[in-house]
Amino acid sequence: MAGPNQALPADPDAGFSLYVHWPYCDRICPYCDFNVRRTQSVDVVAWRAAFRAEMVHLRAAQSASAQRLTSIYFGGGTPSLMAPELIAGVIEDATTTWGIADNAEITVEANPTSSETARFADYRAVGVNRLSLGIQSMDDTALRFLGRNHSADQARHALGEAAAIFDRTTFDLIYGRPGQTLAAWKEELRGALTIAAGHASLYQLTIEDGTAFAAARRRGTLVTPEEMVLADLYDATQDIMADAGLPAYEISNHAGPSEQGQHNLTYWNYGAYAGIGPGAHGRLVIDGRRVATETIRDPDGWRCAALAKGHGVADQIVLDDEACSDELLVTGLRLAAGVPGPRFAAVTGYDLAQLSMAPRVTTLREENLISIDDGRLTATATGRRLLNGVIAEIAVDLSWLADQTTLAPG
């Protein structure tokens, strides 16, 4: 077994991905704390050159034997506001920089307004093969509350158009909204399932600091459901989706095995990925160490830096063993499949048999929050709902194991 303090090789089975951040949106939704700005006119040639420069910079930092890309994800913001020629240019430059697997998944996040739907065929023509649509709700009153600029009918129409054009589609819904009852959510979700094509992301509404919703909650004008109600909504979501053949493979993501999102699986399986564009995060293996990158958040500042000095990377941090162990748990335990024993051992330095003897892990297993079976560490459905607490307990046990190792005689 490898011990801690070893260099951490990339896991080729986890894939190698490229995340491209597009920061602009037609309007800013009151719940959203992503790195977003109101739409402005952009210089497509300059943006392509900036993306290309940053790709070349990150590729040069990796070893000569870096993997080919297994996925590209255009996220935002609203990437469906990107000109098709810019998407085409980024795909072409990424292919030149890293090479790309024949069956690579190339996803664009889209909003369901008609101007964006009109670009779908052009995206398909330049190589995009998966579309992720932000429906958010099937109910017009809820969509107004969420500050969206589309109706439920427009969303249904957009998903229909997408399904006719792309090999694979998925959509996002937000539940746990103020006043939402269990019965209302069940009906809404069953309605959404009638238009689902194999994958859905179902997010519980989070009130993020600095958003309009956070201010409304402080004023007392926005009241989120009680914990007990949220737990019931989560449990019903798991049951309805599993019955429909789209079980949770991750806390918020539901699909059959062939439809799971390969790009996000690279994150959750603790693979390597490059992140380009304003405020993008990456995890690369450089000189055998896992390195976290983060770029300048301001879009103009990022673009100018990338054009002037070849990249807009603001932070590049070599992750130590403890940080790697934490990240492995935070990402891997989101998955229903959990963390395979060999990967756990390679990153933490302990095998699952050792972990299973630790005191807090023993309690977590007795409480049915985690399991160690078939050579994998997994969180149960309930454990995934309480994941932060579960991970904190396992982290304490990893320190306990380190102390045992230090104290062991000779």
Question: Footprint of ligand SAM on residues 46-105 (CB under 6 A)?
Answer: 75-76, 78
Q: How far is the CB of 254 from ligand SAM (least distance, A)?
A: 13
State whether the Cα torsion 11-1-340-316 is positive or negative. Answer: negative
Nearer to ligand SAM, 153 or 208 (CB): 208
Kindly list the distances between the CA atom of residue 187 and the CA atoms of 140, 191, 192, in Å, as whole numbers in the listed order: 14, 6, 9
Among 69, 143, 205, 355, binds ligand SAM (CB under 6 A): 205
28 binds, among ligand SF4, ligand SAM, none (CB under 5 to 8 A by kind): ligand SF4
**Which residue of this chain has its Cβ atom nearest to ligand SAM in the complex?**
134
Question: Does the footprint of ligand SAM cover residue 136 (CB under 6 A)?
Answer: yes
CA–CA gap between residue 358 and residue 353 (Å, rounded)? 9
Comparing CA positions, the residue from 190, 15, 43 lying closest to residue 103 is: 15
Spatial contact of 128 and 108, defined as CB atoms under 8 Å apart: yes
Q: Which residue has the tokens 């959510």?
A: 185
Which three-class secondary structure string do you get for 32-71?
CCCCCEECCCCCHHHHHHHHHHHHHHHHHHCCCCCCCEEE
Q: How far is the CB of 231 from ligand SF4 (least distance, A)?
A: 25
Specify the pairing of strand 370-373 against strand 248-250: unpaired
Residue partners of 125: CB distance under 8 A and separation at least 6: 84
Question: Does the footprint of ligand SAM cover residue 203 (CB under 6 A)?
Answer: yes
Question: Does the footprint of ligand SAM cover residue 185 (CB under 6 A)?
Answer: no
208 binds, among ligand SAM, ligand SF4, none (CB under 5 to 8 A by kind): ligand SAM
CA–CA gap between residue 289 and residue 24 (Å, rounded)? 33
Query: Interface residues with ligand SF4 (CB under 6 A)?
Result: 25, 28-29, 32, 34, 36, 76-78, 111, 134
CA–CA gap between residue 29 and residue 27 (Å, rounded)? 6
* Contact code string over 155-184 relative to ligand SAM, x by CB under 6 A: -----------------x-x----------
CA–CA gap between residue 119 and residue 81 (Å, rounded)? 9
202 binds, among ligand SAM, ligand SF4, none (CB under 5 to 8 A by kind): none
Q: How far is the CB of 274 from ligand SF4 (least distance, A)?
A: 21
Among 208, 243, 315, 320, binds ligand SAM (CB under 6 A): 208
Q: CA angle, corner 371, sides to 361 and 15, nearest 5?
A: 105
3-class SS of residue 298: coil
Question: Does the footprint of ligand SAM cover residue 261 (CB under 6 A)?
Answer: no
Question: Does the footprint of ligand SAM cover residue 278 (CB under 6 A)?
Answer: no
CA–CA gap between residue 247 and residue 245 (Å, rounded)? 6
Q: How far is the CB of 134 from ligand SF4 (least distance, A)?
A: 6
Q: How far is the CB of 207 from ligand SAM (least distance, A)?
A: 7
Question: Footprint of ligand SAM on residues 367-406 (CB under 6 A)?
Answer: none
222 binds, among ligand SAM, ligand SF4, none (CB under 5 to 8 A by kind): none
Binding site for ligand SAM (CB under 6 A): 25, 31-32, 34, 75-76, 78, 109, 111, 134, 136, 172, 174, 203, 205-206, 208
